[in-house]
């Protein structure tokens, strides 16, 4: 009974995908391929991009830019979130700045980065400024929700600071941090594609721009699905990391 239930859960997403592709195939029959290419046309486009090497060439650029901006956001956002969470003074100083980063429109950062940094650095910068608030704010929330009784007990029993961090802070902050990291990873691929679309000639977003200009809608769909694939892969990798390496801290 249990194996049957697991099989059903495993087949449900596949069944949903089959229905989606079938509906897409039917709908594509009513429109010109420039408006809505069929699944087979998009599959041929993905195969062509893979065979001639364009997929890896441009995906590699997007991956490097996206992970560079994301990595910098994690490196800056986690300590900043911890400091804001534990210090009311630093919270008053930095929290308004973090919120400001969060509400500034993406297009504003794009245009400013083009002026400040030049076109090649725009994607990584845009990823950094759009993901930094997500990681920082989630880290702050984790610190704010630490059990105060445990902190008081650590003072009473004179537990060392490294042990307090390892056994009190880390287990209670980590779930909030990982939620922020997961959201930031999803935002990373959207932000890098948008930045590349407007600023550079290499990368997934840049190829989307070229496909739009040339009315190559099948290629546009193909690059979109490749970007979705990157998001799914990084999400799975994060889940694996949590299950295999970080679960004992939570």
**Domain layout of the chain by residue ranges:** 1-30, 36-249
Angstrom CA distances, 126 to 64, 114, 129, 147, stand at 13, 10, 5, 35
**What does the pLDDT read at residue 250?**
56
Token readout for 136 is 């920082």
Measuring CA to CA, which residue among 193, 174, 194 is closest to residue 242? 174
Burial (0-12, 13-18, 19+ Cβ within 10 Å), 22? exposed
- For 10-58, how does the pLDDT look when each residue is reduced to its tens digit (9 = 90+)? 566 678 788 988 999 999 988 898 899 999 999 999 999 999 999 999 9
Specify burial of residue 11 (Cβ count, 10 A radius: 0-12, 13-18, 19+): exposed
pLDDT tens column, 186-245 = 999 999 999 999 999 999 999 999 999 999 999 999 999 999 999 999 999 988 887 776
Domain formed by 36-249, architecture: Orthogonal Bundle (1.10)
Task: Answer yes or no: are the C-beta atoms of 137 and 81 closer than 8 Å.
Answer: yes
In tens, the pLDDT along 116-132 reads 988 889 999 999 999 99
Handedness of CA 10, 13, 15, 21 (dihedral sign): negative
Tens digits of residue pLDDT in 54-76: 999 999 999 999 999 999 999 99
Whether 171 and 247 have beta carbons less than 8 Å apart is answered as no
Who wins on pLDDT, 159 or 190? 190
Q: What is the pLDDT of residue 8?
A: 57
């Amino acid at each position: 009974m249990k194996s049957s239930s697991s099989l059903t859960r495993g087949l449900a997403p596949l069944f949903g995908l089959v229905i989606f592709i079938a509906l897409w195939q039917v709908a594509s029959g009513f429109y010109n391929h420039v408006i809505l290419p069929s699944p087979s046309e998009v599959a041929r486009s993905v195969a062509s991009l893979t065979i001639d090497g364009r997929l890896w060439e441009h995906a590699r650029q997007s991956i490097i830019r996206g992970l560079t901006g994301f990595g910098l956001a994690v490196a800056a956002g986690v300590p900043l979130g911890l400091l804001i969470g534990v210090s009311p003074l630093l919270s008053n100083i930095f929290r308004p700045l973090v919120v400001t980063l969060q509400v500034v429109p993406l297009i504003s950062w794009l245009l400013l980065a083009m002026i400040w940094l030049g076109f090649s650095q725009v994607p990584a910068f845009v990823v950094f400024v759009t993901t930094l608030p997500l990681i920082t704010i989630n880290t702050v929330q984790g610190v704010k929700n630490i059990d105060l009784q445990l902190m008081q007990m650590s003072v009473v029993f004179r537990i060392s600071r490294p042990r307090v961090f390892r056994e009190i802070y880390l287990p209670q902050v980590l779930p909030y941090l990982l939620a922020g990291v997961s959201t930031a990873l999803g935002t990373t691929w959207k932000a890098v594609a948008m930045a590349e679309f407007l600023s550079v000639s290499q990368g997934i977003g840049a190829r989307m721009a070229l496909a739009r200009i040339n009315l190559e809608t099948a290629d546009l769909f193909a690059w979109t699905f490749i970007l979705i694939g990157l998001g799914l892969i990084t999400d799975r990798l994060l889940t694996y990391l949590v299950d295999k390496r970080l679960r004992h801290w939570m």
